[in-house]
Amino acid sequence: MSAFSLSDPAALRLALLANREQVLTELYAHAFPLVRQHVGRHGGSAHDAQDVFQDALLLLYERAVGGTLVLTASASTYLVGIARNLWHHEQRRRARLPHETLPDHLEPLAPEPVETEVAVLDYVARMGEKCKRILLDFYYFQQPLAQITASHGYGSVRSATVQKFKCLERLRQAVRAAFGAETLTA
Amino acid sequence: MRPELERLQHIEEQLLRGPAAQPAAEWQLQLLLDPELQADAEAQQQLYAGLRAAGRRQLRSELAGIHTRLYGPPPEAWPHRVASWLRGAFGRN
């Protein structure tokens, strides 16, 4: 069954965990043209359509893998609905602003990261590929350790676990060194 | 695992509600008795927030890549491609 026609959150979650790129591509190819058409008909640009659609897809991903997604129709229909709401919200926001302060881009879905988050972001970007992958795959993409063990080539779940905590410790030390003890205390 | 890593794991179980998480009252008592644990837990919570922001950044970049593969580069990129082609064709930097 194609990802876009899935209406069972558990099946969508498993599909996203097993093959994120393929599933996101299927959803993208199926739902984005509808969102582009809607945004275009309601005063938005192609760039606006891309922004709201990607925000909607990010939201869908986080809810699906986090186990909080509730679907009453297909994933694709849900995605189009969320993107439409985001665009209407953005239109209202722009209408409230004077013309000279109209932003070039949409208001970000998530609040701006606080200072320590920026420090973590910067350090993660500079981390070795191995640590970066294991930390993001586990903490953000929510892949189970058994899957990480297989896809990253660790000998056992135990060694993947140890490696994950070594990387977390490295991240913590780096952020502490950058920030001093008052922010990341210990 | 080294004791430092065990401590990270212990805090993680609690913060992410893992299978080995303690009952809330027991954890609150530990925090009261060990001020360093409180500070460590707050620090670890900040790391998770930062990792979430980093993950979002990566997912956005993956989505931008999917968009480009499906629909080509953004329209504003084409003058740069033409300029780059002209530079190559005429051997100018």
Domain spans, chain A: 3-101, 115-179
**Mean pLDDT over residues A19-45, rounded?**
95
Residue ranges making up the domain that contains B15: 3-90
- Looking at beta carbons, which residues of chain B come within 8 Å of A166? 5
Cα separation, A107 vs A90, in Å, equals 7
Provide the pLDDT for residue A96.
85
Cα separation, A138 vs A150, in Å, equals 13
Candidates A114, A136, A186; nearest CB to B58:
A136
CA nearest A118: which of A38, A175, A61, A56?
Answer: A175
**Mean pLDDT over residues A144-171, rounded?**
95
- Determine the distance in angstroms separating the CA of A137 from the nearest CA of chain B, rounded to an integer: 8
**Higher-scoring residue by pLDDT: A102, A20:** A20
**Higher-scoring residue by pLDDT: B72, A5:** B72
**Higher-scoring residue by pLDDT: B81, B20:** B20
**Mean pLDDT over residues A67-96, rounded?**
93
Minimum mean pLDDT range among A50-54, A135-139, A179-183, B37-41? A179-183
Check whether A62 has a pLDDT greater than 90: yes
Candidates A29, A136, A165; nearest CB to B54:
A136
Question: Distance of CA B88 to CAs A173, B80, B83, Å?
Answer: 46, 12, 9
Q: How many domains does chain B have?
A: 1
Pairs of residues, one from chain A and one from chain B, whose beta carbons lie less than 8 Å apart: 118
Residue from B6, B56, B68 to probe the interface with A (highest A Cβ count within 10 Å): B56
Chain A residue with the nearest C-alpha to that of B6: A165
Write the ipTM. 0.87
**Mean pLDDT over residues A166-176, rounded?**
91
- Report residue B93's pLDDT band, with 50, 70 and 90 as the boundaries: very low
The distance from CA B79 to its chain's CA centroid, rounded to whole angstroms, is 34
| Total Cβ atoms within 10 A of residue A42 | 13
Minimum mean pLDDT range among A10-19, A45-54, A72-81, A102-111? A102-111
**Mean pLDDT over residues B47-55, rounded?**
93
- Report residue A34's pLDDT band, with 50, 70 and 90 as the boundaries: very high
Check whether A183 has a pLDDT greater than 60: no
Chain B residue with the nearest C-alpha to that of A175: B47
Residue from B9, B48, B51 to probe the interface with A (highest A Cβ count within 10 Å): B51
Residue from B8, B17, B63 to probe the interface with A (highest A Cβ count within 10 Å): B63
A115-179: which CATH architecture?
Orthogonal Bundle (1.10)
- Report residue A178's pLDDT band, with 50, 70 and 90 as the boundaries: confident
- Determine the distance in angstroms separating the CA of B43 from the nearest CA of chain A, rounded to an integer: 5
Cα separation, B40 vs A185, in Å, equals 6
CB contact under 8 A, A28 and B42: no
Check whether B61 has a pLDDT greater than 50: yes
Q: For the packed helices A9-18 and A20-41, what is the interaxial angle rounded to 10 degrees?
A: 120
